[in-house]
Chain A
């Protein structure tokens, strides 16, 4: 059975959905806080930790996010870099039809690994 948790900060909602094989984080709304890392980083670290412990794939699903400031991209970059050196798999999903998302997330492909431990996928 799925386990769901929702985190909110200002206009940003992050919904965590855990099942037997993965923990998915669904990002919705707008991330416009002055220091979004204070909210985002602990959630991302929790995901990495629980993904490792439960041997589950982590999914960062940005397809429904409407806007994120550059301070929001920073913690995502740091977590992807750290995920490369850890056990477990992390997949980033974005909406290819949105130009701004395509530009941001194709640039994040530099953190992809050949063994597919880190994947960036446009849908």
Chain B
């Protein structure tokens, strides 16, 4: 059985549920438990949501690519999307957030801190800011990112199984 799943799709919010289902079936076929599937699909969903929100999609670079790879002890999830100069502010924020999460020995503490910050924000403020720290806490994943030479952002989450 193939240990990797590679899906490319249009950067359309309605596609997320379809990718969630594909990912879920793939993990089910590899014998993952319900809890593990819930956790890994949450990671995929949150990464794709960020990708669609902050990527710069212009034809012919209008797709999101998701790669899920299972090795002996690890599951790696990578999400790729195009970026350009206009997204440099978001990339700096992504960098700061990942560094901030890494600053905590226990990602639960980072999650609690972020919840406290959110609780003080106005009700109408639509920004969540919880997705990456949720991946670290609930998904028990280590986050990283880099920008390729062809201006594709790769955000990865690696979790032990």
Q: Do A and B bind each other?
A: yes
Would A81 and B42 count as touching, CB distance under 8 A? no
Would B38 and A104 count as touching, CB distance under 8 A? no
Would B134 and A70 count as touching, CB distance under 8 A? yes
Interface residues on chain B, number (Cβ under 8 Å): 32
Q: In the complex, which of the residues A71, A79, A104, A108 has the most CB atoms of chain B within 10 Å of its own CB atom?
A: A71
Q: Which residue of B lies closest to A101 (CB)?
A: B38
Would A81 and B108 count as touching, CB distance under 8 A? no
Does A122 interact with chain B (Cβ within 8 Å)? Answer: no
The size bracket of the interface on A is 20 to 34
Minimal beta-carbon separation of B58 from chain A (angstroms): 20
Would A70 and B116 count as touching, CB distance under 8 A? no
**Of A11, A38, A74, A103, the contact of B118 (CB 8 Å cutoff):** A74
A-B contact count (CB 8 A): 80
Minimal beta-carbon separation of B90 from chain A (angstroms): 16
- Contact digits for B29-64, partner A, Cβ 8 Å, 1 yes 0 no: 000000100110110011001000100000000000
Would A77 and B119 count as touching, CB distance under 8 A? yes
From B72-80, B93-101, B121-129, the one touching the partner chain is: B121-129
Residues of B within 8 A of A70 (CB): 46, 49, 128, 130-131, 134
The distance in angstroms between the C-alpha atoms of A69 and B130, with both chains bound, is 9
Does A73 interact with chain B (Cβ within 8 Å)? Answer: yes
Would B49 and A69 count as touching, CB distance under 8 A? yes
Residues on A close to B: CB < 8 A?
A: 11, 30, 32-35, 37-38, 41, 45, 67, 69-71, 73-75, 77-82, 98-100, 103-104, 107-108, 110-111
Q: A99-B39, A110-B115 are in contact. List 4 more A-B contacts (CB 8 A).
A: A32-B16, A34-B49, A78-B119, A110-B112
Name 26 A/B residue pairs within 8 A (Cβ), A-sorted: A34-B49, A45-B123, A67-B20, A67-B38, A67-B41, A67-B42, A69-B46, A70-B128, A70-B131, A71-B130, A73-B134, A74-B118, A74-B128, A74-B130, A77-B118, A77-B119, A78-B118, A81-B120, A98-B35, A99-B39, A100-B35, A100-B42, A103-B138, A104-B138, A107-B115, A108-B115
